[in-house]
Amino acid sequence: MKPEAHLTGLFVPLVTPFTDDLRLAPDALARLADEALSAGGARGLVALGTTAEAATLTTEEKAAVVRICSAACRAHGAPLIVGVGTNDTAAAITTLRELAGSGDVDAALVPTPPYTRPGEAGVLAHFSALAEHGGLPLVVYDIPYRTGQSLGISTRNALKHLPEVVGIKYATGAVDAAAMELLGSSTPGFAVLGGDDAVISPLLAAGAHGGILASANVRTADYAELISLWQRDAAGPARRLGAELARLSAALFAEPNPTVIKGVLHAQGRIPSPAVRLPLLAASADSVRRAADLATAGARRGVPAQRGGSSTTNVPNPTSPRV
């Protein structure tokens, strides 16, 4: 029997707010975490996802981010998923065991090993080792356009039957025959969570259990509502809201994630700076303005669309890279 991880609904992969000089801004992160789970109505949080710029956080910063997110999740009785992304199986097991030991983490979000391209048998062996030795429920992160490793239907089927694998974050860039196959056969204790923001609505319509959506940093309550509408079979309103949010997501992903999202959150007065760490560069003022306008135009529920002025007052000038 698989461990219970309650993986339905919206999970927000939080950005990691920085100061202008690129230090972690813990208070802003704590506020975002609390807002997502209270007014935003998210089911849970994801710490250390791609959106969190986990790749450029130090070990100490990662620990601080997990501490802040787990405190918020504990306060709201919400599940916490933590990203563990490496192409080193042994290192992943060490990290998983540390997270499991903390007692605060419900599941780990683990991409297929990036860059190495170990082949599908290698991916299966990797997750089998993590399932056997990691000590945490696992969500397989299937995102071939980032990892370089695609998976076929039979490998996905094998993964979903591994003990400890409680879900998949499906982000192949398409809602296609393979997605229908995945959603067509339900496996008890196994959730399909969408991870391509712009196509979350059709994936939910086809039966996905929820989503891990970076865009939901911006309009949390509306992405939560979209999932709820599809779960309640309210197809008409779900289609309309889905179309509107797809436009917002496209604008938020106009430049590398999470640069536009951070620009919008800063424009809304919700984080102290739009700063991102190299190799990411701050999003252009045009991209931020366009997304901020879409975010403000449609926002109707929950989390305040902005704090402190119009959506454009804080839109940054493109800055030179900071290190």
Ligand X SMILES: O=C(O)C1=N[C@H](C(=O)O)C[C@H](O)C1
Catalytic positions: 141, 169
Nearer Cβ to ligand X (57/157): 57
Interface map 40-69 toward ligand X (x if CB under 6 A): ------x--xxx------------------
What is the distance, to the nearest Å, from the Cα of residue 212 to the centroid of all Cα atoms in its chain?
4
Nearer Cβ to ligand X (51/158): 51
CB of 309 to ligand X, least distance (A): 27
Interface map 144-183 toward ligand X (x if CB under 6 A): ----------------------------------------
DSSP-assigned beta bridge partners for residue 44: 11
Cβ atoms of 170 and 144 closer than 8 Å: no
What is the distance, to the nearest Å, from the Cα of residue 203 to the centroid of all Cα atoms in its chain?
16
Mark the segment that binds ligand X (CB under 6 A) among 35-43, 119-127, 155-163, 209-217.
Answer: 209-217
Does position 99 interact with ligand X (CB under 6 A)? The reply is no
Residues 26-45 that bind ligand X (CB under 6 A): none
What is the DSSP secondary-structure string of 63-122?
HHHHHHHHHHHHHHT--EEEE---S-HHHHHHHHHHHHHHS--SEEEEESPTTT--HHHH
Taking alpha carbons only, the member of 173, 234, 233 closest to residue 200 is: 173
Taking alpha carbons only, the member of 72, 48, 70 closest to residue 61 is: 48
Element (H, E) at 159: helix 153-160
Q: 3-class SS at 157?
A: helix
Mark the segment that binds ligand X (CB under 6 A) among 93-101, 207-215, 261-269, 291-299.
Answer: 207-215
CB of 295 to ligand X, least distance (A): 15
Residue count at the site for ligand X (CB under 6 A)?
11
Nearer Cβ to ligand X (13/167): 13
CB of 276 to ligand X, least distance (A): 12
Report the residue from 65, 179, 204, 214 that binds ligand X according to the rule CB under 6 A: 214
Taking alpha carbons only, the member of 140, 68, 135 closest to residue 106 is: 135
What is the DSSP secondary-structure string of 227-268?
HHHHHTT-HHHHHHHHHHHHHHHHHHTSSSTTHHHHHHHHHT
Is 212 annotated in a binding site? The answer is: yes
Does position 212 interact with ligand X (CB under 6 A)? The reply is yes
CB of 39 to ligand X, least distance (A): 20
CA dist., res. 170 & res. 144, Å (int): 10
Nearer Cβ to ligand X (46/130): 46
Taking alpha carbons only, the member of 268, 152, 145 closest to residue 195 is: 145
Does position 195 interact with ligand X (CB under 6 A)? The reply is yes
Task: State the residue number with the nearest CB to ligand X.
Answer: 49
CB of 64 to ligand X, least distance (A): 18
CA 107, 111, 112, 117 torsion-angle sign: negative
Residue 153 tokens read as 């239907």
Does position 197 interact with ligand X (CB under 6 A)? The reply is yes
Nearer Cβ to ligand X (46/165): 46
Binding-site residue positions for pyruvate = 51, 212
The residues of the shown chain that bind ligand X, judged by CB under 6 A, are: 13, 46, 49-51, 195, 197, 212-214, 257
Question: Per the annotation, where are the binding residues?
Answer: 51, 212
